[in-house]
Structure 1
Amino acid sequence: FLIFLTFSSLFSSNLDPSDDEAVEKASDNRTATRQDSDSKPAVKKKRKQPTECFLSQPEEKQESTVKAKRRRKKKISDVLQKSAPKPGVPADLQNLLTQHFGENRSVIEIEELKLSDSCFLPANDLSHSFSSYLKEICPKWAKLRRNHEEKKSVVMLVLCSSALRSLELIKSMTAFKGDCKVLKLFAKHIKIKEQMNMLEKGVFHIGVGTPGRVKALVEQDGLCLNATKYMILDWNWRDQKLRRMMDIPEIKRETIDLLEKSIIKLCRDGSVKLGLF
């Protein structure tokens, strides 16, 4: 019994409260390290997700597309605004006809649409007003005006892109036309039947209008081109969008149709002369 008491006292004396705290700290450290080790893989998984890369790529594409669109618009406007105006020449009209009919016509048919230099009047070199240009290309206008007595026809036909431009040209030819009669040949506020009645009842020397209305009058036999001597295209003038008459698809198509169906044959026969103002 004495021996047992001795060993128990020795054992209790060796146990120190600081040892218990050490044991608890060690266990706490182990649990903390376990928690840290458990949490580290989750952090790594979050970092592996390339969220930033996926978000940055479409933004760059959108910026690049917006920049590309802006560059295209700016480039077109720069070309139109900064390009020096070049006067139209007969070769421009020839090239336009060739490009328009090149894919759908044979070589022989395209040759029939070509016009010799003798079919053209001197082109405007951008130094003339409309009246001075008409005086240059038609020095004998007074005689032609007196001799013209045919109804449903005009001696001179002027084609431009719009009704407003037609009115501007009519006002600007005051010094040239004298006392001759000018007929408005466009669709704005004027019915085609009214124009046909005017042509049938009266004698007109100059017709100014759009290709679409002139083509419609010719097709409906309201306007006859047998007495026509001059056909002027308002080639060089540009509108607010810097477009010439041949830059507007509808005007371009109607002008080419009128040339093909009615004017080119008369030019080849020598009865009509073409001028580019």
Structure 2
Amino acid sequence: MKPKRKRKKKISDLLTETVPKPGVPADLQKMLNEHFGAKRSVIELEELKLPDSCFLPANDLTHSFSSYLKEICPKWAKLRKNHTEKSSVVMLVICSSALRCLELIKSMAAFKGDGKVMKLFAKHLKIQEQMKMLEKDVVHVGVGTPGRIKALIQQEGLKLTSLKYFILDWNHRDQKLRRLIDIPEIKKETVELLEMELIKLCRDGSVKLGLF
């Protein structure tokens, strides 16, 4: 009888066997270093470093999305009231899929108050329509996928001048148990989005980064 060939483990098999550990700032830094490591000089890599002061407390996996946001952003009501700039948001939330964006929008109801939340993903939504809506209304929170948010910034439909909070939906696992950073295309777009302007804004102290 032929010996059974050992099946190569798939990423989902490996993930099933691992106990979920909440993301910490070092994980994000590691992701940036891995992505840019070979392509950048030491000086350039230094500019991509995120000091601890950039980060909000990370989710320890006990929070709902609303309770997490309440903890990291206790002055939300005041921030919301003072935000009047169009084509910009106070908070950006990055998810791996349109479906996950809708889940988080629903679960932040207890937090947002009168704040306007906008969907910033590509599914069924044209980028021109999103740009018009951002231009027309004052929007407080944008929840979307990294690719679409990157495109909106590139086309100047979304400005980062009012941004205070940048939240990565880091710990969530999809049906195949993959996190945001386990999906190559999403991971790449997240890194590119961070590199565009966000790392600089975090280093300057105007934006705080959270891992939910």
TM-score (normalised: structure 2) = 0.97
Q: Which residue of 1 aligns with 2:205?
A: 270
Secondary structure of 1:73 counterpart: coil
Instruction: Point out 4+ residue stretches in structure 1 off by more than 2 angstroms.
Output: 76-79
The one-letter amino acid of 2:9's match is: K
Q: Which amino acid aligns with 2:17?
A: K
Farther off after superposition, 105-114 or 134-143: 105-114
Gaps of 5+ in 1: 1-58
Give the Cα separation in 1 of the matches to 2:128 and 2:183.
26
Pick the structure with greater CA Rg. 1
Q: Give the letter for the 2:174 counterpart.
A: D
Equivalent residue number for residue 175 of structure 2: 240
Residue equivalent to 1:165: 100
The answer to whether residue 6 in structure 2 is matched with residue 73 in structure 1 is no
Cα distance in structure 2, aligned partners of 1:261 and 1:207? 17
Aligned counterparts, 1:25-64, within 5 A: 60=2, 63-64=3-4
- Corresponding residue for residue 155 of structure 2: 220
1:93 lines up with 2:93 in the alignment: no
| Matches for 1:7-18 after TM superposition, within 5 Å | none
What percent identity do the matched residue pairs reach? 75
Cα distance per residue 1:82-107 (max 9 Å; x no partner):
21110000000001101111111111
CA RMSD of aligned residues (A): 1.2
Aligned residue in 2 for 1:55: none
Q: Secondary structure at the match of 1:239?
A: coil
What is the alpha-carbon distance in structure 2 between the residues aligned to residue 81 and residue 94 of structure 1?
Answer: 24
More helix by share: 1
The counterpart of 2:143, out of the listed 205, 208, 227, is 208
Q: State how far apart, in whole Å, the 2-side matches of 1:200 and 1:77 are.
A: 41
**Secondary structure of the equivalent of 1:103?**
coil
2:194 maps to 259
Q: What is residue 67 of structure 2 aligned with on the other side?
A: 132
* Offset at residue 80 of structure 1 (A): 1.1
Residue 179 (structure 1) shift: 1.4
Q: Which runs of 5+ in 2 are unaligned?
A: none
Q: How many pairs align?
A: 212
TM-score (norm 1): 0.75
Tell me the distance in 2 between the aligned counterparts of 1:241 and 1:77: 6
